[in-house]
Amino acid sequence: MLNDPRSHGLWEMTAPPAPDTVAFSGKAEADVVIVGGGYTGFSAALHLAERGTRVILLEGAEVGYGGSGRNVGLVNAGMWVMPDELPGVLGDLYGSRLLDVLGNAPRLVFDLVEKHGIDCEINPAGTLHCAVGQSGLDELKQRAEQWARRGAPVRLLDAAETATKVGTGAYAGALLDMRAGTIQPLAYARGLARAAIAAGAQVFTGSPVTGAERNGTRWTVKTPRGDVTADWVIVATNAYTASPWNVVRTELVHLPYFNFATVPLSAEMQAKILPERQGAWDTKEVLSSFRFDKRGRLVFGSVGALRGAGLGIHKAWARRSLKKLFPDIGDVAFEAEWYGKIGMTADNLPRFHRLAENVVGFSGYNGRGIAPGTVFGRTLAELVSGRIAEADLPLPVTDPQAQSFRSVREGYYELGAQIAHFASARF
């Protein structure tokens, strides 16, 4: 995308084409203007257009340019925060609403894919959160117990069953979550965009919003070649924010995350590793994730940016780690490599902001934005069309709080990942 093979890697090589779009020019009126073309923006556009609302979506680069086109494709249920801790952080009302909404969020993704016939390698086979050592297993035991108490279809696997399901004896156990699954992320973003356009939304790419003005009760948002005037503005720019609402960016610390995709593995290795095709990640602080694509390529990722010294360090680490986890895999070649930035909030929870009168948005998905972005996009559509009130949202209205020492912490994450991956060669 934008001639950068390390931005969207395998997903760009294998996704169906994006719908035809052009840059916005001239002047236009709408009921709602959406800024940002990822899951949040397209889900909002789709759900608004389906009810006959006049909606214009302005994307600064291309469909799925941000996190939505680069991620691992794990359609997770819930957040990093333990279910029992949420009421303590958000209060009982919002805590239980958020658990409910996010626990069921993968269902909305799977339903939309089916309803709109989106070709995105969907596989609702569940996910495996793999325990590294006893401390990892203790954490997963708590998660399993807390979700099971709420009726979620989760199961803690022992080491032997984990070894069969993952294809390695490296883990002390795993949490199997049958609400979850995997998708081809860019294909999903493009499919949502196509569905939104088919429902009547107007989508423009190469159209960065550079300013916004309040004119009476309406907003005029500016792009390099024209203006859109609307009653409501939805800001759906998350970690890739470059906009008049830059406060959304200052609240997030960017955590870099990369992926390597192997060439399609042999039939024997495909039968051994993740034979049921769950998506997997582990409990380490500098975590690793792995999953297959439809052609049998193993997508293997971790924290870090593929630039400068990081490129060689992370690639060497990925080769070593794959062999350590799956000794029979051999010297497998990589077919693609790419990375992106994850927007982390201070407490690992997403945010709802009213950035100004009739300017609203969700952000801060902490690396878990496929299902939340889709469900919160629908929620934004319901809010701006008056079908729900702010008081009914799954999160309270908060003001963006800039995180201190952001660039220092971002540098620390990037360098820290290099050190962790470099050091793993020696121990």
Q: Of the ranges 66-74, 140-148, 268-276, 304-312, which one interacts with ligand FAD (CB under 6 A)?
A: 66-74
State residue 243 phi and psi, 5-degree precision.
Answer: -155, 175
Give strand ranges (E) for 276-350: 279-282, 288-292, 298-303, 334-344
Is 365 one of the binding residues for ligand FAD (CB under 6 A)?
yes
The secondary element (H helix, E strand) that includes residue 91 is none
Of residues 156 and 303, the one with the C-beta less far from ligand FAD: 303
Is 40 one of the binding residues for ligand FAD (CB under 6 A)?
yes
Of residues 21 and 71, the one with the C-beta less far from ligand FAD: 71
Selected from 99, 101, 239, 380, the binder of ligand FAD by CB under 6 A is 239
Selected from 209, 228, 252, 274, the binder of ligand FAD by CB under 6 A is 209
Q: Which two tokens stand for residue 254?
A: 């960017």
Of residues 206 and 266, the one with the C-beta less far from ligand FAD: 206
Q: CB of residue 414 vs ligand FAD: minimum separation in angstroms?
A: 13
The secondary element (H helix, E strand) that includes residue 307 is none
For residue 59, the SS3 value is coil
Q: Of the ranges 18-26, 64-72, 95-103, 318-326, which one interacts with ligand FAD (CB under 6 A)?
A: 64-72
Q: Which two tokens stand for residue 402?
A: 């800039």
Within 245-274, which residues bind ligand FAD (CB under 6 A)?
257
Of residues 163 and 226, the one with the C-beta less far from ligand FAD: 226
Is 74 one of the binding residues for ligand FAD (CB under 6 A)?
yes
State residue 47 phi and psi, 5-degree precision.
Answer: -70, -30
Q: Of the ranges 59-67, 90-98, 106-114, 329-337, which one interacts with ligand FAD (CB under 6 A)?
A: 59-67
Size of the site for ligand FAD (CB under 6 A): 41
Label the pairing between strands 279-282 and 127-131.
Answer: parallel
* CB of 105 closer than 8 Å to CB of 39: no
Contacts made by residues 161-168, CB under 8 angstroms, sequence distance 24+: 162/128, 162/130, 162/131, 164/275, 165/128, 165/274, 165/275, 165/276, 165/278, 166/128, 166/130, 166/273, 166/274, 166/280, 167/272, 167/273, 167/274, 167/275, 167/326, 168/273, 168/325, 168/326
Q: CB of residue 63 vs ligand FAD: minimum separation in angstroms?
A: 8
Is 340 one of the binding residues for ligand FAD (CB under 6 A)?
yes
Q: CB of residue 268 vs ligand FAD: minimum separation in angstroms?
A: 27
Closest CA to 80 of 404, 345, 425, 356: 345
Q: CB of residue 298 vs ligand FAD: minimum separation in angstroms?
A: 15
Of residues 83 and 361, the one with the C-beta less far from ligand FAD: 361
Q: CB of residue 183 vs ligand FAD: minimum separation in angstroms?
A: 9
**List of residues 6+ apart from 420 with CB closer than 8 A:** 286, 303
Amino acid identity, position 200: G
Ramachandran area for residue 3 (φ above 0: left; ψ -120 to 50: alpha; else beta): left
Q: Of the ranges 96-104, 237-245, 388-396, 415-423, which one interacts with ligand FAD (CB under 6 A)?
A: 237-245
Binding site for ligand FAD (CB under 6 A): 35-41, 58-61, 65-68, 70-74, 76, 208-209, 236-243, 257, 340-342, 365, 367-370, 373
